[in-house]
């Protein structure tokens, strides 16, 4: 038997429900592009923290992160093609990570979590290991149950941790919209309010209300908004690029000093920011975007250390990982993959353009100084106020180049499209996970109910809104909690790691599924990509948990306890559901038990 | 009484075989197939010099032995497609004359249903397990008499069937779709049809509706939005309700204990509408996975005791 890829499928179709002509690859790209959001995630965090690894190569770190995530895109495209309507990490992991893989995955997650929590709360060395063993056993037992580890990894990544993303989105909205607008309107009270803990909470609540409203609107309505936002955001970005390209660093320095004095009463703000960062934030500069330093080995090593920061932004090209429809071929795999790769690489190229322009126009020293100067204060690493009271949001900086407040406000509003076009997916993702858990009887039936008139998933929204509000309060009033921002990415990375492992073993462990799929001929490509991204994610998770650079690992008791609560809560929910359902005569093992055909 | 309900297997041999074994596996008393049993595609296995050639999922394979051909035929059948052996002349003739394709489709669909009924009779004989099959909008009318002739399987469409104190009422007719399939009715006529069926039910609260179309706006009917050219809008991310308002209104009007649905493969779920539990187990027939609902009914109280949606 010999196989090759055919240019034209030989298939006769009849007229039947569900057969469609296809879908636009551009739509897939747009969804991925907005998920790997250059402005709301990239500029807000990943592209603002180069100063924390000053010897890393900025451009190389972007490229390496994009290469790493490319393997994620291949693995996920394979899962989507092999199990299309299953539609997501929960089902993929539940179907694939059973038996020995489920036990092993559960044991690793349980063991690591238990050991780290025991270590963080200071139980002492023998007990640490004993609790780690208990975690291995409990995790292994949960992993042995059909769907157990799938629920824990998916519920933490697609539900629980999204509660933490709500105030992070709130912080983004505050720093990228409300504070700049207040500043440009010359409202010191507004700047002060939005800079306060109360302001953070208010914007978080606004964010929660907005994202809930977008869920209520439904994806069909939101998709239209997203499309407009994509174009509006790109127009804004193009204006920023042009402004930065045609302006010199001297022009910018004059513009920044003028705006800072005019808006905040800070004279000589450009030089003062650099001096303050050096004095208060231990700022020593950062390698130029294209430079590789004198010691190539050290630069590469430092650049690798930047990847865990980069993933905060570029890890999510697969956010809309569902494919509908039938009678599909591997052409859809390619289309899904192209959409994700477009999202990754177009964004990566734009990020590089932005970084180069920032170095050219803002000045690389200033750009990194102003970021570290604000970030250290915002996350509570220092108590010294930043030189200017609002974050140097790049579109705001670029807008200063035109000395016109209407134009400046227009730029901020236009860039708001990057937020509006992306934020609706936050609760949409979690409500889908909640529905799936309710259909699998892990959550009560009411979790999947929709309202009579507009089919709004009110209870599912409450399941995410209530924890989101609680976490928003913590985030708003505790800088220590704000410093756990990278935990929000870590938990999602663990979920993605579960699916990456599933993609790695799927062709070999569940050949009846994979060999019957349109990507059966891509066994090595998908499994190999799954393996590579599994190793990368495991390594990044190890760095997050072990290296004090990231601030969320073993040196941060709050972070470890927070992670322990997240995973512990998922395990408790699952075990409780099993016990309750058993008392009701419902066997949850039956959900994934394969019925023999013969 | 335990019901095992699956739907929309669309010609998948492996799903049908799992369906027939499901009663023993899950200790069900009644099997109900909600319709859309027939496949949507035929895959030609073309005779070439010294063997055969087939393109499945854009992957062209050359086959040299009968065993290889049978193996690929099984793969094709398990996905829900009909494998057909043709020579190049026939392929050309089919390309020129769509009526030849239609005729062969009919032969394949009816032949498959005949085989499936025979297999059901063979596997379920003497088991005491009841099996109700109700064709739906994608199934041509000619399959109804084939089901009716089966000895174990009971035809659901337009019949009322007593099940341990409950009355099963079935229809595979659906509200209009963009594909203009066999059994579609405008909403008012669909409501009339449902009213006519329910009129013969002694106690509507003890009814089990087996209506292929899910109720409108129930979350069981969310399907990707299509544009006028039948392309997905927003890369398939934009879901809209496409269910039947007549079905929803009739559930609210009659308040059956249980309402079973299919039609929208992406619409897996269970919701309560009024006092009725409505379920759509969804379908992943192409993966060879039998999605289904297991529902335990309390004959004394006339209510649903428990349910579970499974991927078997």
Cβ separation of A11 and B231 shorter than 8 Å? no
Cβ separation of A322 and B310 shorter than 8 Å? no
What's the whole-number mean pLDDT along residues B197-219? Answer: 96
Which of A237, A238, A219 is CA-nearest to residue A227?
A219
Contact B243, B217 (CB under 8 A): yes
> Burial code of B40-77, b = ≥16 C-beta within 10 A, e = fewer?
bbbbbbbbeeebbbbbbbbbbbebeeeebbeebbebbb
| Closest Cα in chain A, distance from residue B44 (Å) | 7
Question: Is beta strand B207-211 parallel, antiparallel or unpaired with respect to B276-280?
Answer: unpaired
Which of A402, A355, A363, A392 is CA-nearest to residue A250?
A363
Best of B1, B16, B40 to disrupt the A interface by mutation (most A CBs within 10 Å)? Answer: B40
CA angle A476, A373, A393 (to 5 degrees): 75
Could you tell me which chain B residue has the CA closest to the CA of A590? B310
SS3 assignment, position B171: strand
Whether residue A589 lies within 8 A of chain B, CB to CB, comes out as no
Residue B244's pLDDT band (cuts 50, 70, 90): very high
Give strand pairing partners of A377.
none
Q: Which residue of B64, B181, B237 is in closest CB contact with A219?
A: B237
User: Which residues from chain A sit within 8 angstroms of residue B102, using beta carbons?
Assistant: 14
pLDDT above 90 (res B224): no
User: Which residues from chain B sit within 8 angstroms of residue A226, using beta carbons?
Assistant: 234
| Closest Cα in chain A, distance from residue B154 (Å) | 22
Phi, psi dihedrals of residue B115, rounded to the nearest 5°: -60, -45
Phi, psi dihedrals of residue B276, rounded to the nearest 5°: -105, 135
- One digit per residue, pLDDT tens: chain A, 598 residues? 554 444 333 788 888 887 776 667 787 888 889 989 999 999 999 999 999 999 999 999 999 999 999 999 999 999 988 887 655 888 889 889 989 999 999 999 999 999 999 999 888 888 889 999 999 999 999 999 888 999 999 999 999 999 999 999 999 999 999 999 999 999 999 999 998 999 999 999 999 999 998 888 877 778 888 889 999 999 999 999 999 999 999 999 999 999 999 999 999 999 999 999 999 999 999 999 999 988 999 999 999 999 999 999 999 998 876 655 555 666 678 888 999 999 999 999 999 999 999 999 999 999 999 999 999 999 888 889 999 999 999 999 999 999 999 999 999 999 999 999 988 888 888 888 898 899 999 999 899 888 877 778 889 999 999 999 999 999 999 988 988 888 999 999 999 999 999 999 999 999 988 888 888 889 999 999 999 999 999 999 999 999 999 989 988 999 999 999 999 999 999 999 999 999 999 999 899 888 999 8
How far is CA A58 from its chain centroid?
Answer: 20
DSSP assignment string, A556-579: -HHHHHHHHHHHHHHHHHHHHHHH
Task: Give how far Cα B122 sits from Cα of A340, B118, B125, Å.
Answer: 49, 6, 6
**C-alpha to C-alpha distance for B156 and B162, rounded to whole angstroms:** 11
DSSP assignment string, B243-294: -BHHHHHHHHHH--SEEE--S-TT--EEEEETTEEEEE---BGGGTB-EEEE
**C-alpha to C-alpha distance for B102 and A234, rounded to whole angstroms:** 49
Neighbouring residues of A589: CB distance < 8 A, sequence distance ≥ 6? A145, A146
Could you tell me which chain B residue has the CA closest to the CA of A15? B179
Which of B241, B252, B259, B231 is CA-nearest to residue B168?
B259
Give the start-end residues of each E strand in A268-334.
none
User: Which residues from chain B sit within 8 angstroms of residue A590, using beta carbons?
Assistant: 26, 294, 308, 310
DSSP assignment string, A159-176: IIHHHHHHHHHHHHHIII
Cβ separation of A585 and B296 shorter than 8 Å? yes
Whether residue A587 lies within 8 A of chain B, CB to CB, comes out as yes
Contact A516, A556 (CB under 8 A): no
Which of A180, A541, A188 is CA-nearest to residue A394?
A180
**C-alpha to C-alpha distance for A146 and A2, rounded to whole angstroms:** 37
Between residues 69 and 128 of chain A, which touch chain B (CB distance below 8 Å)?
A: 82-87, 91, 95
Whether residue A320 lies within 8 A of chain B, CB to CB, comes out as yes
pLDDT at A593: 87
Q: Could you tell me the two tokens for A467?
A: 């924890």
Whether residue A329 lies within 8 A of chain B, CB to CB, comes out as yes
Q: Could you tell me the two tokens for A471?
A: 């976490």
- What is the CB neighbour count within 10 angstroms for residue A99? 12
User: Which residues from chain A sit within 8 angstroms of residue B28, using beta carbons?
Assistant: none
pLDDT at A5: 42
**C-alpha to C-alpha distance for B2 and B305, rounded to whole angstroms:** 10
A19 burial type by CB count under 10 A (0-12 exposed, 13-18 middle, 19+ buried): middle
**C-alpha to C-alpha distance for B236 and B45, rounded to whole angstroms:** 32
Residue B90's pLDDT band (cuts 50, 70, 90): confident
User: Which residues from chain B sit within 8 angstroms of residue A512, using beta carbons?
Assistant: 288
Q: What is the pLDDT of residues A282-336, one digit of tens each?
A: 999 999 999 998 899 999 999 999 999 999 999 999 887 665 555 566 667 888 8
High-pLDDT (> 70) share of chain B, %: 100
Give strand pairing partners of B298.
B303
Whether residue A569 lies within 8 A of chain B, CB to CB, comes out as no
Q: What is the pLDDT of residues A114-130, one digit of tens each?
A: 999 999 988 888 888 99
Question: Is beta strand B82-86 parallel, antiparallel or unpaired with respect to B41-48?
Answer: parallel
Which of A362, A284, A280 is CA-nearest to residue A55?
A284
pLDDT at B245: 97
pLDDT at A87: 57
Best of A4, A7, A16 to disrupt the B interface by mutation (most B CBs within 10 Å)? Answer: A16
Residue B152's pLDDT band (cuts 50, 70, 90): very high
Packing angle, helices A161-173 and A425-439, rounded to 10: 170
Whether residue A223 lies within 8 A of chain B, CB to CB, comes out as yes
- What is the CB neighbour count within 10 angstroms for residue A410? 16
């Amino acid at each position: 038997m010999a196989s090759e890829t055919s240019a034209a499928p030989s298939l006769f179709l009849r007229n039947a429900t569900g057969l469609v002509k296809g879908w636009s690859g551009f739509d897939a790209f747009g969804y991925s592009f907005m998920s790997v959001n250059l402005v709301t995630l990239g500029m807000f965090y990943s592209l603002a923290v180069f100063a924390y690894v000053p010897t890393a190569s900025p451009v190389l770190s972007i490229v390496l992160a994009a290469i790493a995530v490319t393997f994620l895109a291949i693995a996920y495209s394979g899962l989507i093609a092999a199990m299309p309507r299953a539609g997501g990490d929960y089902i993929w992991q539940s179907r694939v990570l059973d038996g020995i893989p489920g036990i092993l995955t559960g044991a690793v997650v349980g063991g690591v979590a238990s050991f780290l929590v025991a270590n963080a709360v200071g139980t002492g060395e023998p007990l640490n290991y004993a609790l780690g063993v208990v975690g291995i056993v409990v995790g292994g037992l949960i992993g042995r149950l059909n769907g157990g580890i799938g629920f824990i990894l998916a519920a933490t990544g697609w539900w629980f941790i999204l509660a933490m993303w709500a105030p992070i989105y709130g912080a983004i909205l505050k720093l990228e919209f409300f504070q700049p607008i207040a500043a440009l309107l010359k409202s010191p009270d507004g700047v002060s309010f939005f800079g306060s803990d109360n302001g953070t909470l208010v914007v978080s609540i606004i964010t929660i209300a907005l994202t809930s409203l977008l869920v209520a609107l439904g994806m069909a309505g939101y998709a239209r908004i997203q499309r407009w936002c994509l174009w509006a955001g790109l127009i804004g970005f193009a204006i920023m690029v042009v402004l930065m390209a045609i302006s010199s660093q001297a022009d910018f320095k004059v513009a920044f000093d003028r705006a800072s004095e005019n808006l905040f009463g800070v004279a000589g703000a450009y030089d003062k920011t650099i001096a303050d960062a050096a004095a208060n934030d231990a700022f020593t500069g950062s390698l130029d975007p294209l430079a590789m330093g004198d010691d190539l080995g050290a630069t590469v090593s430092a650049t690798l250390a930047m990847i865990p920061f980069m993933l905060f932004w570029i890890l999510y090209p697969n956010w809309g990982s569902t494919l509908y429809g039938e009678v599909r071929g591997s052409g859809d795999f390619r289309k899904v993959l192209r959409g994700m790769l477009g999202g990754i690489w177009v964004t990566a190229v734009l990020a590089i353009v932005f970084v180069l322009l920032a170095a050219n126009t803002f000045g690389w020293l200033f750009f990194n100084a102003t970021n570290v100067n604000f970030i250290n204060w915002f996350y509570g690493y220092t108590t010294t106020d930043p030189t200017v009271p609002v974050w140097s949001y790049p579109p705001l900086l670029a807008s200063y180049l035109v000395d016109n407040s209407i134009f400046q406000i227009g730029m901020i509003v236009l860039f708001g499209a990057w937020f509006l076009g992306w934020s609706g997916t936050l609760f949409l993702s979690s409500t889908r996970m909640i529905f799936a858990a309710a259909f699998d009887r892990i959550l009560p039936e009411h979790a999947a109910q929709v309202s009579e008139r507009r089919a709004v998933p009110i209870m599912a929204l409450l399941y995410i809104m209530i924890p989101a509000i609680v976490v928003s309060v913590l985030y708003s009033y505790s800088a220590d909690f704000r410093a756990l921002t990278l935990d929000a990415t870590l938990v999602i990375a663990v979920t993605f790691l579960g699916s990456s492992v599933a993609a790695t073993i799927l062709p070999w462990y569940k050949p009846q599924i994979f060999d019957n799929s349109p990507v059966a001929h891509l066994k090595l490509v998908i499994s190999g990509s799954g393996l590579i991204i599994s190793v990368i994610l495991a390594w990044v998770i190890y760095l997050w948990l072990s290296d004090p650079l990231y601030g969320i690992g073993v040196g941060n008791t709050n972070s470890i306890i927070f992670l322990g609560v997240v995973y512990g809560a998922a395990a408790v929910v699952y075990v409780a559901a099993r016990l309750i359902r058993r008392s009701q005569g419902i066997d949850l093992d039956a959900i994934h038990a394969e019925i023999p055909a013969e | 009484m335990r019901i095992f309900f699956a739907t929309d297997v669309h010609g998948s041999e492996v799903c049908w075989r799992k369906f027939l074994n499901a009663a023993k596996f899950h200790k069900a008393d009644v099997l109900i197939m909600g319709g859309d049993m027939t496949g949507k595609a035929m895959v030609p296995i073309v005779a070439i010099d010294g063997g055969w050639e087939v393109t499945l999922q854009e992957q062209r394979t050359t086959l040299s032995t009968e065993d290889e051909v049978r193996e690929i035929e099984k793969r094709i059948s398990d996905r829900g497609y009909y494998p057909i052996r043709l020579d190049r002349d026939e392929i050309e003739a089919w390309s020129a004359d769509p009526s030849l394709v239609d005729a062969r489709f009919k032969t394949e669909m009816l032949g498959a249903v005949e085989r499936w009924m025979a297999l059901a009779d063979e596997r379920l004989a003497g088991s005491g397990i009841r099996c109700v099959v109700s064709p739906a909008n994608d199934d041509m009318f000619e399959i109804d008499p084939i089901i009716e002739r089966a000895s174990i399987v009971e035809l659901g469409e337009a019949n009322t069937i007593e099940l341990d104190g409950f009355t099963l009422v079935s229809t595979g007719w659906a509200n209009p779709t963009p594909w203009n399939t066999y059994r579609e009715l405008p909403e008012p006529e669909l409501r009339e049809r449902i009213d006519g069926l329910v009129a013969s039910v002694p106690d509507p609260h003890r009814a089990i509706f087996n209506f292929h179309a899910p109720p409108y706006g129930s979350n069981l009917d969310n399907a990707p939005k299509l544009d006028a050219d039948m392309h997905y809008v927003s890369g398939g991310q934009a879901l809209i309700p496409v269910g039947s308002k007549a079905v929803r209104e009739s559930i609210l009007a009659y308040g059956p204990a249980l309402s079973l649905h299919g039609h929208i493969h992406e619409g897996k779920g269970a919701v309560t509408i009024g006092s009725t539990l409505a379920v759509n187990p969804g379908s992943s027939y192409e993966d060879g996975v039998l999605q289904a609902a297991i529902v335990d009914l309390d004959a004394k109280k006339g209510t649903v005791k428990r349910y579970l949606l499974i991927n078997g």
